[in-house]
Copies of this chain bind each other. A is one copy, B any other.
């Protein structure tokens, strides 16, 4: 651990706490966020709280001083973006991914089959992250990163654990990238994300 919380700024600390509370449902969608209230609760002044709220607004987790309540349409919008961007990233991965990253990708698949629930969750995230990085496009990486929290939030409310075939699909994508077949990798990634979206939508029915 490089830095403990005391060493970080009040802004950073309060941001991390607030974000956490929103993502784990402690501050459910629709909750009014009042600067003074949060400030006294966390033991900081309003100034750093204000700043972390702005950050969360930027991330889409707070809108109009309330915790966001993502709609089905928000979910669709975010996934549509991911389909476009990660489809492209998968194509890049097929062309440019190094042996080392390819191996890391395979490890994610393996953990997906054998790991504990927590490990699986992490490995799935990492799988996508490796591919997104292969785009070598900082704007893209950043954009997808920002979208994650909203998607995560939605997932939480859906209590999504494990979708059937998810790991199989990851493995197919991995195989296409390994075979340097960019078009196939992109197509597989797109349908993988589409299936993910459909599963989410199905559950909230």
Contact = CB atoms under 8 A, between A and B. Distances in A.
Nearest to A85: B84
Interface string A67-85: 0000000100110110011
A140 interface: yes
Given A54-B51, A58-B58, A143-B143, A137 B88 contact: no
A131 to B, nearest CB: 15
Contact of A81 (B58, B78, B137): B137
Given A51-B54, A54-B51, A140 B77 contact: yes
Interface in A134-155: 137-140, 143, 147
Interface residues of A, number: 18
Contacts of A85: 81, 84
Contacts of A80: 88, 137, 139-140
Given A51-B54, A54-B54, A139 B77 contact: yes
A88 B84 CA distance: 8
Nearest to A87: B84
Contacts of A51: 50-51, 54
A100 B3 CA distance: 57
Contacts of A50: 51
Interface string A14-40: 000000000000000000000000000
B140 A81 contact: yes
Given A51-B54, A81-B137, A84-B88, 10 more contacts: A51-B51, A77-B137, A77-B138, A78-B139, A80-B139, A80-B140, A81-B139, A81-B143, A139-B147, A143-B143
